[in-house]
Amino acid sequence: MSYPGYPPQAGYPQQPGGYPPQPGGYPPQAGGYPPQAGGYPPQAGGYPQAPPQGKPSWGGGPAGGYPSIGLDSLSNPGYMAGMANQISAVMGGFNQNPSMFAQPGQPGQPGQPAPVPGYPQAPSPNPSMPAYTPGAMPIRGFRGTITDFPGADPLRDVEVLRKAMKGFGTDEQAIIDLLGSRSNKQRVPLLRAYKTSYGKDLIKDLHSELSGNFRSMVMATLKTPSEFDASEIHNAIKGAGTDEACLIEILSSRSNAEIKEISRIYKQEYKKTMEDAISGDTSGHFRRLLISLAQGNRDEREHVDISLAKQDAQALYAAGENKLGTDESKFNAILCARSKPHLRAVFLEYQQMCGRDIEKSISREMSGDLESGMLAVVKCIKNTAAYFAERLYKAMKGAGTKDTTLIRIMVSRSEVDMLDIRQEYVKNYGKSLYTHISGDTSGDYKKLLLKFCGGND
């Protein structure tokens, strides 16, 4: 669609009906947006962002790396070299960074400061995933649906938004086309660009022009991920009743670095610590579970020691199925502190040891918020994409839609693992996420949700 006074640029294809969804994502463009403060901390399961000054270790651990735990002899040089070749093939000639495949004692190994590789130039449209090996970090391409728009210019973008809101009526389609084709780090600077160009507040203008769930989703797209999470936690706590599932969802799925950033923003915005807010609104073992998760202090090493996994599985069995009553503290300590790869191995050992799934045991041993909280933590660790697929399914099934949940997951996972969530959705519920959203929502709200969904399966 063309706008008067907006010359056609090479970066903007002149398509009827706005920007087409782009397969495979765009390579990063020189001269794009500067990185935003408070943007994405490293995502579990995706690529970490380019490193800040200094050399952080993989997974948001301490700058100096974790101390060795005496397992260096378990390294497998052949596997690392093989993985290097496999990744190169999978990613279509992505330039390998030798530090990713370093051996123990070299930079790049857990336990040593690691130079973090940058994004590959163009992710393969269909990355394959190496088989899961305990201790191996599955390396995958970008799994989101929203990518950087090449050559996007914030000053031109705000001109489009201003024209969409000026005069009689609002051009919602122009707003959908624009916000649905910009990455988070391209959307957030629009607030400042709008004020620079027009001396007005973009949020206030959009708020007065839009309404309902469409407005709520537009507002969500203009916050950084951590700002959005902090506001969702605040909304889950304030007012009558607490949205416990929202608290667990955010705290069990974000990395340590993300949780620390959410805490910082929470205190800055709401003048009290996130921990105090949670503590004042919950009680008992469920409160302890949330506060443990809110520390953002989970072990993030990728290595799995099977003998320790067996010990933890035995400890969980002894704390639950194998005694009268349940030692909830033991479940809390293991589920909140241990690394996710380690816990996946623990769940496997537990199943083999007592012939029962850990979820079944939790359901037998616990009840109420604690039961649903512990189950959510386990599901999120076992398979994050399947956990979010289930949250989306439950948000839409039955009478009425839980729109806050739907908006939160569609926006917050759109640049993390939405492609994986879509795969799990169609596998587990027999119809695509796209189809379910289409049948359950309507109007401009539906159009924007489907932009973030990114396609039908």
Known binding residue 108? Answer is no
Residue 82 has pLDDT above 70, yes or no: no
**Residue 241 binned pLDDT confidence (cut-offs 50, 70, 90):** confident
38 lies in some domain: no
At 435, which CATH number? 1.10.220.10
Spatial distance between the Cα atoms of 202 and 141, rounded to a whole number of angstroms? 34
pLDDT tens digits along 350-396 = 999 999 999 999 999 999 999 999 999 999 999 999 999 999 999 99
Residue 243 has pLDDT above 90, yes or no: yes
What number is the average pLDDT over the span 252-273? 98
248 lies in some domain: yes
Among candidate residues 294, 317, 336, the one where a domain is terminated: 294
Q: Are 371 and 315 in the same domain?
A: yes
Among candidate residues 382, 397, 430, the one where a domain is terminated: 382
Q: Are 413 and 427 in the same domain?
A: yes
Q: Are 327 and 281 in the same domain?
A: no
Q: Which helix (H) or strand (E) holds 68?
A: none
Known binding residue 417? Answer is no
SS (H, E, C) 338-386: CCHHHHHHHHHHHHHHHCCCHHHHHHHHCCHHHHHHHHHHHHHHHCHHH
**Residue 411 binned pLDDT confidence (cut-offs 50, 70, 90):** very high
Q: Are 378 and 390 in the same domain?
A: no
pLDDT tens digits along 275-302 = 999 999 999 999 999 999 999 999 999 9
Known binding residue 440? Answer is yes
| Cα–Cα separations (whole angstroms), residue 257 to 37, 300, 340 | 14, 10, 15
Question: Helices 403-412 and 384-396 meet at what angle, rounded to 10?
Answer: 150
81 lies in some domain: yes
Q: Are 374 and 397 in the same domain?
A: no
Task: Look at the alpha carbons of 44, 48, 54, 55 in this order and tell me if their dihedral is positive or negative.
Answer: positive
pLDDT tens digits along 106-128 = 444 444 444 444 444 444 444 33
Q: Are 201 and 268 in the same domain?
A: no
Known binding residue 400? Answer is yes
Spatial distance between the Cα atoms of 228 and 309, rounded to a whole number of angstroms? 35
Classify residue 323 as left (phi > 0), alpha (psi -120 to 50) or beta.
Answer: beta
7 lies in some domain: no
Q: Are 202 and 257 in the same domain?
A: no
In the DSSP assignment, the letter for residue 38 is: T
368 lies in some domain: yes
Count of CA atoms in the C-beta half-sphere (13 A) of 33 = 24
193 lies in some domain: yes
Q: Are 183 and 245 in the same domain?
A: no
Residue partners of 102: CB distance under 8 A and separation at least 6: 80, 108, 109, 112, 114
> How many Cβ atoms sit within 10 Å of the Cβ of residue 118?
15
Q: Are 246 and 285 in the same domain?
A: yes
What number is the average pLDDT over the span 159-183? 96
Q: Are 169 and 205 in the same domain?
A: yes
What number is the average pLDDT over the span 408-415? 98
Q: Are 372 and 396 in the same domain?
A: no
Spatial distance between the Cα atoms of 360 and 375, rounded to a whole number of angstroms? 9
Count of CA atoms in the C-beta half-sphere (13 A) of 320 = 26
19 lies in some domain: no
Of 124-133, 189-198, 206-215, 413-422, the least confident: 124-133
Q: With CA atoms as reference, report the closest residue to 276 among 289, 285, 287.
A: 287
284 lies in some domain: yes
* Structural domains in the chain (count): 5
Task: Look at the alpha carbons of 442, 444, 446, 447 in this order and tell me if their dihedral is positive or negative.
Answer: positive
Q: Are 311 and 367 in the same domain?
A: yes
Report residue 331: phi and psi, to 5°.
Answer: -60, -45
Judge if pTM exceeds 0.75. no
State which residues form the domain around 233.
225-294
Spatial distance between the Cα atoms of 173 and 162, rounded to a whole number of angstroms? 13
